[in-house]
Amino acid sequence: MDRRLTPANGRVAAASLRGKVEAERFVKGEARRVIVPVADLLQEPHGRRERQLLSGDAVTVYEQREGWCFVQSLKDNYVGYLKASQIEERDAPTHWIIAPATHVYPEASFKVIERAKLPFGAQIRVIGEEGSRFVETEDGFVPKAHIAPLGWHFRDPVGVAMLFTGSPYLWGGNSRDGIDCSGLVQAACLACSLPCPADSDQQATSAGVAAKPGALRQKGDLLFWKGHVALVVDATRILHANAHHMAVAFEDMAEAEARIIAQGDGPVTAHRRLMPG
């Protein structure tokens, strides 16, 4: 079993894993949601970041111990640890943030000091409207122009990825404040209602469909290298979050391939099509 996707830590495991893994206890888990703008999902308490979850993301909590919760993210089944203070039981969200970022205000005015910044993809529950510019949420007021109902989605993954252009590269990052290659692809896919796992090796086998051998690369395709993924923009360019630029950047496709080979990471290993047909 893939450790990243297996809700078991030796002490506790999901009830569905009974007979498949060893654990002291098997539990159903409890539903919670992230309540901070961005939360680091850690490999272990105080450990390294695996991925990030966004405000409103749903998780199943299997264990709470010494201020940490062992959880599984519902959007991609990724497993890890969150601080107990970063999640709580909340009603389901109604809308999501479609701008690169937005702010939460203590009142319906853009002239007051904001309470928090929410990233693209964060989810909110609208409980009322205040004039023509703001909606009210459990945490404050958010500009109406920056949100859409949960059922609404984009249609162009590359267009979504372009919203992150210039974002700093961050290993395991999933927001405009810092994002990595697979985080960028996942954000673009989920915003277009396309299922997508969290890491590039997972995406290389399950995102979209495999392109036919020798197929021309077209807008929206994914190219994979060892430990890396990029979106095809057009016949000559890719867009990717990469450590060479330390940012989300456009790059000439041929130059990128040559550079990646020269640095020892080899040629393209997979070519997948997000929008077949």
3-state secondary structure 189-231: HHHCCCCCCCCHHHHHHHCCEECCCCCCCCCCEEEEECCEEEE
> What letter would DSSP give residue 243?
T
Domain boundaries in the chain? 3-88, 95-149, 157-273
pLDDT tens digits for range 156-168: 999 999 999 999 9
| CB-CB contact of 54 with 119 (8 Å) | yes
CB 7 within 8 A of CB 48: no
Query: Pick from 36, 53, 170: which is nearest to 116 by CA?
Result: 36
Which one is the CATH code of 157-273: 3.40.50.10330, 3.90.1720.10, 3.60.20.10, 3.20.20.70? 3.90.1720.10
Task: State the CATH class of domain 3-88.
Answer: mainly beta
Other Cβ atoms less than 10 A from the Cβ of 25: the count is 10
Residue 255 is given by DSSP the state: H
Residue 37 has phi, psi (to 5 degrees) of: -55, -50
Q: Which residue has the tokens 């997979």?
A: 270
Q: What is the pLDDT of residues 34-68, one digit of tens each?
A: 999 999 999 999 999 999 999 999 999 999 999 99
Confidence of residue 139 (pLDDT cuts 50, 70, 90): very high
Work out the average pLDDT over 7-19.
97
The H or E element containing residue 88 is: strand 87-88
Whether 78 has a pLDDT exceeding 80, the answer reads yes
CA distance 261 to 83: 40
pLDDT at 232 over 90: yes
Q: Is the pLDDT of residue 243 over 90?
A: yes
Identify which of 11, 133, 106, 123 has the alpha carbon closest to the alpha carbon of residue 56.
Answer: 123
Instruction: Please tell me the predicted confidence (pLDDT) of residue 13.
Output: 98
Identify any residues that bridge with 147 across adjacent strands, giving them in sequence order. 97
Residue 111 — pLDDT band, cuts 50, 70, 90?
very high
Nearest to 179 by CA among 90, 247, 83: 247
Asked whether residue 93 carries a pLDDT value surpassing 90, the answer given is yes
Q: Helix count (H) and strand count (E) of the chain?
A: 4, 25
Selection from 11, 30, 45, 4 nearest residue 203 by Cα: 4
Classify residue 158 as left (phi > 0), alpha (psi -120 to 50) or beta. Answer: alpha
Instruction: Please state which CATH number belongs to domain 95-149.
Output: 2.30.30
- Average pLDDT over the chain, rounded to an integer: 97
Q: Which residues pair with 104 in a beta bridge?
A: 116
- Would the CATH topology of 3-88 be identical to that of 95-149? yes
- Torsion angle (degrees, nearest 10) of CA 188, 186, 254, 244: 110
Whether the Cβ atoms of residue 272 and residue 232 lie closer than 8 Å to each other: no
d(CA 189, CA 273): 12
Give the model's pLDDT for residue 178.
98
Whether the per-residue pLDDT at 276 is higher than 80: the answer is: no
pLDDT at 277: 64
Give the H or E element holding residue 248: strand 247-252
